[in-house]
Structure formats: C-alpha cells, structure tokens
C-alpha cells in the first residue's frame, strides 16, 4: 500500500504542473483562471501529502491508509469540480465542498498517523 501513495502523489503532482501550464497558456477568462489556480494549488499540496503518506508507510498504521484514501478522493472531487467544466464537461454542483471536507479529514488522519507512528 505504501507504493500506492507515492505513485498517486507523483501522478497528482505531474497533473498539477500540467494544469498550471494549461492555465498559463490557455485563453481562460479571469474567473475561471482563478478557479484553475486554486485547484492546481490544492492538487499540488495534496500530491505532497500523498508522498508523506507513502513515506510514513506502515509505521503510521491504518490512519495513513485512511489519510491517503481521503486525499485521493478529496482531490478528485474538489479539483475535479473545477477541472471537469474547464475541459467542457458539466458543472458538478456541490461536489467541491464534499471533496474539501475529505481533504480536511485527510489532514486530521495524517496528524493521527503521526501520533500513532511506531
């Protein structure tokens, strides 16, 4: 399971950089550009959080696996709510707050993992 978080963090980081490049070169109106910048920033920070989950590995026990799962799901929902409409898909409505809540809970679980690490 440890490798899963490192792989997910690496892919998420790469996509964050690609998103930043897209935002810098695409003709996007200012409001959408701000939303994209926010999504890219959140995605980049959580890519690093996933790498932390991978580095803590089994020493952090089940809270690390829970944190990693929450980070992946949270980014998909939170950042996806920005990415999907920018790429021509439908608006995802109230998906972003659910994703944001998952990201917050992921950080809490990462803190719990630090407390319980062996």
Q: pLDDT tens digit string along 75-109? A: 999 999 988 888 788 888 889 999 999 999 999 99
Q: Which pLDDT does position 77 carry in this prediction?
A: 95
> What is the reported pTM?
0.89
d(CA 60, CA 110): 8
8 A C-beta contact, residue 83 and residue 39: yes
How far from the centroid of its chain's Cα atoms is residue 89's Cα? 20
Q: Outline where 1-118 has alpha helix (H).
A: 2-25, 30-56, 62-78, 80-86, 95-116
5-59 pLDDT tens trace:
999 999 999 999 998 998 888 767 888 888 888 889 999 999 999 999 999 887 7
- ∠ CA 68-71-76 to the nearest 5 degrees? 130
């Amino acid at each position: 399971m440890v490798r899963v978080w490192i792989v997910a963090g690496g892919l998420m980081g790469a996509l964050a950089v690609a998103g930043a490049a897209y935002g810098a070169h695409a003709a996007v109106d200012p409001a959408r550009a701000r939303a994209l910048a926010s999504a890219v920033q959140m995605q980049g920070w959580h890519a690093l959080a996933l790498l932390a989950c991978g580095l803590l590995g089994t020493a952090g026990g089940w809270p690390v696996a829970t944190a990693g799962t929450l980070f992946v799901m949270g980014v998909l929902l939170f950042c996806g709510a920005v990415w999907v409409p920018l790429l021509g898909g439908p608006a995802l409505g109230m998906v972003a707050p659910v994703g944001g809540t998952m990201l917050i809970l992921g950080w809490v679980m990462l803190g719990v993992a630090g407390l319980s690490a062996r």
